Structure 1
Amino acid sequence: MELYLLRYFLAVVETGSFTKAAAACLITQPTLSAGIKRLEEQLGVGLFVRNNKRVFLTTAGTRFLPRAKAILHEVNMAAAEIARTETADVLRLGVLQTLPAALVARLLAGFSAAHPGIRFDLYDGSEQELLNRLDERGLDYALSLRRVDDDSSLPLFEEGYKLALPVTHCLAGEAVIRGEDLANDSMIVRSRCEVLSETSRHFTDRNVRPPLVYRTAQDERALSMVGAGVGITVMPESYQSPDVVRIPMRDFNPRRTVALFLPRFALPDRLTGAGKAFQRFAGGFFGHAG
């Protein structure tokens, strides 16, 4: 189905006349009529009822109308997106879902202040989703976890995992907490946590099975629920909140390296400078050479 036929169809609907629709499309009326006939043949139904004064939609035409509008809207949006990203300094940045929003926001705010002419299109995703999009040229850069020491990513910082407890918790003043001390606590599960299985094993090895009161894929929401006293959880150290304290667990030492994953392919010439500037800034922001 050719898109121009949908445009003919919508022009007739909007003007209520084949003559006016042809003028709006800058074509002759016979050409428009032939186009509408071709569209009706492709669909196998009549779309219009014609009389001497006006054109009306058939029942089939009425059902087809919102779909035709939606198709052309998506096509127009796609064309606008291509035009925007192909002519503007826009870097497409993937962000791992388990990175703190506040941390990413500070990074981007600092970079935007230093480089006001460069903008970002942001995409959330899991580690694998971000890697796939990088490979498919759907992203320019990604903030994710470094699993292999190679030149495909720039390490930014390393961190461990600690308990998150409300400041009112009876153990909030401890320097280190044993898993056995948490047998009577309620647990919040961060379903996208990279060390979820290690965390579960740490407790079960100590015969501790705290009740699970909340499960969420949204880490900021989990942190808020901890602050509200709903339960406790294990989170990367970089998650902070005024009403939450972060305390290490004894004999629980997993760590992660957050890195900036570099483009898989050469950036367009107009983005080369922007990309290098972002690499340098990200490295400096987290205290590493870029």
Structure 2
Amino acid sequence: MKIITFMRLKPGKPPAMVSFIFLLFSTFTSAKEQTLETGNLNNKLTHYLISNNSVAVKNILQTCGECSQFIDPLLLEWSNGILARQEKNYAESIRHYRKVISIHPDWYSARLQLATVLYLNKDILSAEAQLRKLRSESLPEEAAVLIDSFIAKIQKTDNWAFRGGFTYLNEKNINNAPASGRSIGRWKSEKPQSGKGVMFWGEAEKTFSLPDNLFGITRLATSGKVPGSGLTDPLHPLMSHGHQCRPDILTVNSGFLPALLNRRTGTVFYRQWLTERYNSVVKDCRFLFL
């Protein structure tokens, strides 16, 4: 049995349902969000922020010039969060979003966008926490259903995954004997020996999300050979010519690899590898006559 614990990077993107959620939130805002719409500039910018329209937000800020001093500072913070996300500077984007919702925790659109950026930044636990806070509010039924689907998708990140396979072996020269009749001095080559059996492997893997861009994967794996008629391990010490019964060898490899990585950058903090090999000898005189 091979047991592997390690961390690895998993590139991802927000589910397609997020775009539809943003569309719903563009028509459903809290009362405090609506109070920001004082003046044409803030009115337009608020609409683009709620609908997560990064292109329109960027155009307003670029064409505004000196009039940016009349924009609500918190709207500028939100705008910077959207623009940083567009440039894939997720850490900076998260900082802006957290400042916005720390002052106005009932700005649901900003919280949803924060959850999405956290998901993109591979901070799965924090993304789920933000979605659950959002889900606890009074939302339209359509938005609530889609947020539940988003949460379910995130939770599936930590599901068990199973893989495996096997190969049927029918070897005609398992002892790697040279061409029959070859000799050097008094040495004469053995005759090729045939054998049958099955080689197998299997894995069970589970992801564990951790805070601060860390996550782990525990992998349980096994691989080996099930001997059949004449299928043996010629390197095993019991395979000497002095034995009356030729043993078949059931070989299973095992190992343990604990490691810790940063989920986003792939930085390795700890890793150690240990392996063992187990040989189970099965003697059977029926396999003696090859």
Please give the TM-score of this superposition, normalised by the length of structure 1: 0.24
Higher Cα radius of gyration: 2
